[in-house]
Amino acid sequence: MREKVILICEECLSRNYQTTKNKAVQKERLETKKFCVKCNKHTLHKESK
């Protein structure tokens, strides 16, 4: 079963992206480099709690 997750910018803490992940396969938190509109640059985005 895929579950919705929200990605948060590490610098400005804005909630920019929404995606899904398979909890059965991937147990650790999702981390990706994405573009943040508020920071106006590519930053690390992590899955929220």
| Per-residue pLDDT tens over the stretch 1-49 | 899 999 999 999 999 999 999 989 988 999 999 999 999 999 999 999 8
Q: If you search the block for the tokens 């999702």, which residue do you land on? A: 30
Q: What was the pLDDT predicted at 1? A: 83
Spatial CB neighbours of 42, under 8 Å, sequence gap ≥ 6: 33, 34, 35, 36
User: What CATH number labels 2-47?
Assistant: 2.20.28.120
Token look-up 């106006």 returns 40
Give the pLDDT score at 49.
Answer: 81
